[in-house]
Amino acid sequence: MRGEEGDAAGEFEELDELEEETPNRVGLTPRQARRIRIVLASVLMAAMAVVLVVRLASRTSVLVVGVYGAALVLCGVVIELSRHGRTRLGTWLLGIGLAAALASDWLLLP
């Protein structure tokens, strides 16, 4: 019995030391960052779907479907990356990918 109590007390001391070593966070927790990026990617996915519908109404083209379809897939990939904790990678991918989709819309589509 006494050995078990000593082990538990040692574990609590280690946890206290770990908490003291970690600096106080000023920003978001990882869970909050993941949720924000998931919501952001979901909103951008809905916006890309609306832009796809508007662009298809004005001009039917396979290129329009390809550009905005790729943007929709990219948003889905970012949501999955955020769910698995890869939020920085997802943020960079979302920013660069959507910028490329909008640039290709401006450059390629009449």
More confident residue, 67 or 9: 67
Angstrom distance (rounded) from CA 82 to CA 30 = 10
In the prediction, which pLDDT does 96 show?
94
pLDDT at 33: 85
CA distances from 71 to 12, 87, 90 (A): 48, 18, 13
